[in-house]
Amino acid sequence: MKAKREALVSLFTAMREGKVDEDIIDLLLLINSIRGIYTTSSCSGRIGIIEEPALGAKPLSRWLIKVHREMTFPEAKKALEKAREGLIFLKSQPPIFHVVAEDLEKAKRLHELGLASGFKYTTFKVISNRYLVEINATEYLTAPLGRDGKILVSDDYLRFALEIGNSMLRRSKGRLPRLMKNFEKLREELGEDELFYELAGEFGVRF
Amino acid sequence: MKAKREALVSLFTAMREGKVDEDIIDLLLLINSIRGIYTTSSCSGRIGIIEEPALGAKPLSRWLIKVHREMTFPEAKKALEKAREGLIFLKSQPPIFHVVAEDLEKAKRLHELGLASGFKYTTFKVISNRYLVEINATEYLTAPLGRDGKILVSDDYLRFALEIGNSMLRRSKGRLPRLMKNFEKLREELGEDELFYELAGEFGVRF
């Protein structure tokens, strides 16, 4: 799979540059070591505060803070001091994995695997001839906090919303071990990909 | 398609009982009149206030108010008087259509159609041998308002969050005419389904 070679080089390069979320590195390596599938963009789950200039103007949004672990109240307060323009949202998002499968059978297996691991919002798309499975969960929070630099919530509310956002992140991240176990089983089923081990060797990736 | 016959009977019965969101009836009839596809559950988009006993305990949630049009501030205040137990969220969700396609080609066409109509979160699943396409958008709001009967936001904040939720609903519903046009084109491509017209006749459905 030529596309897999490119994706692996991309992943290993990003790892070398410290650009891959640490808490999913092992899982990403596991998934990519399996024959017939590979990951594209993935995220270990995050909570952050974002400014959106206008509803729907996503490319122009800017994160005031974005972390892949729970956010503290002092961090949130500090980040909000930077708010300037647009709608301010507290957002919490679960881990999300994009996995390409080389055929429909594997895409279906991945879909079942995501659901069986508790990622209830797992779906897929067919783009050109590739099957792209999105392993996703339901714990999303999108709470408006203010507008144009003005915070419209009290400290108590901010603590409350943060607590909910952090809980959601804990819940969804809490399924990662199960997802890992299920991918280990899938590897036994589908077999290992020599290309992965070859490139990992070249990049000095250890696992 | 036996499954289509059952789905159509189900739809026409629900229409007869006033259980189908009025503003998508024409679109649902159009989609179902096309050969090779049919709708299962769909929703015209909604905004509501929900109580969730615990994070993730979805079946035990109860809606304090749920409307398929914009919600007013007095309605929201009144609904909040009923809050008792659990986390209280204001939720805004876009229109969502579930369309079954009889083969992969049609599923891919539906997927493109959804995306081309601005429903950027259109995906699909394969369940048994059926292709289920979900035409979905990105405008979701999930804003916590309080807990266990206690409202933790001011009236000003409630107005603010409602305004955002209502805007999101306006935006996503605003794409329905485009979606309708694209389904009209799809009907020219795939042809009409005689079964639909036969059953529509039996149920006295007019369009």
pLDDT digits (tens, 9 = 90+) for B29-54: 999 999 999 999 899 999 999 999 87
In a domain, residue B201? The reply is no
CA B198: distance to chain centroid? 26
Q: Which residues of B touch A125 (CB under 8 A)?
A: 111, 122-124
Q: What integer is the mean pLDDT of A101-117?
A: 93
CA distance A100 to A112: 14
Looking at residue B58, its pLDDT comes to 65
Residue B55 contacts A, CB cutoff 8 Å = yes
In a domain, residue B207? The reply is no
In a domain, residue B117? The reply is yes
- Residue range of the domain that includes A66: 24-194
If DSSP codes are grouped into helix, strand and coil, which group holds residue A190? helix
Q: Which residues of A touch B160 (CB under 8 A)?
A: 144, 147, 152
If DSSP codes are grouped into helix, strand and coil, which group holds residue A36? coil
If DSSP codes are grouped into helix, strand and coil, which group holds residue A147? strand
In a domain, residue B100? The reply is yes
Residue A57's pLDDT band, with cuts at 50, 70 and 90, is low
Residue A207's pLDDT band, with cuts at 50, 70 and 90, is confident
Backbone torsion region of residue B128, taken as left when φ is above 0, otherwise alpha when ψ lies between -120 and 50, otherwise beta: left
In a domain, residue B190? The reply is yes
Does residue A58 have a pLDDT over 80?
no
Q: What integer is the mean pLDDT of A111-119?
A: 95
ipTM of the complex: 0.78
Across the interface, whether the CB atoms of A125 and B111 are under 8 A apart is answered yes
CA distance B16 to A153: 45
Across the interface, whether the CB atoms of A171 and B56 are under 8 A apart is answered yes
Domain containing residue B175: CATH number: 3.30.1960.10
Q: Which of A202-206, B18-22, B192-196 has the highest mean pLDDT?
A: B192-196
Residue B191's pLDDT band, with cuts at 50, 70 and 90, is very high
Across the interface, whether the CB atoms of A139 and B55 are under 8 A apart is answered yes
Facing B161 at nearest CB: one of A134, A139, A144 = A144
Q: Which two tokens stand for residue B148?
A: 């266990």
Q: Which residues of B touch A124 (CB under 8 A)?
A: 123-126
Number of domains, chain B: 1
Which residues are CB-contacts of B196 (< 8 A; sequence separation ≥ 6)? B8, B32, B33
What is chain B's mean pLDDT, rounded? Answer: 93
Q: What is the pLDDT of residues A9-22, one digit of tens each?
A: 999 999 999 889 88
Residue B139 contacts A, CB cutoff 8 Å = yes
Facing B123 at nearest CB: one of A87, A125, A147 = A125
In a domain, residue B4? The reply is no
In a domain, residue A179? The reply is yes
Facing A108 at nearest CB: one of B87, B111, B126 = B126
Does residue A124 have a pLDDT over 90?
no
CA A190: distance to chain centroid? 24
In angstroms, the separation between the Cα of residue A65 and the nearest Cα of chain B is: 19
Helix (H) or strand (E) holding A130: strand A130-135
Q: What is the pLDDT of residues B53-103, one digit of tens each?
A: 876 666 789 999 999 999 999 999 999 999 999 999 999 999 999 999 999
Q: What is the pLDDT of residues A128-184, one digit of tens each?
A: 778 999 999 999 999 999 999 999 999 999 999 999 999 999 999 999 999 999 999
Does residue A53 have a pLDDT over 90?
no
In a domain, residue B89? The reply is yes
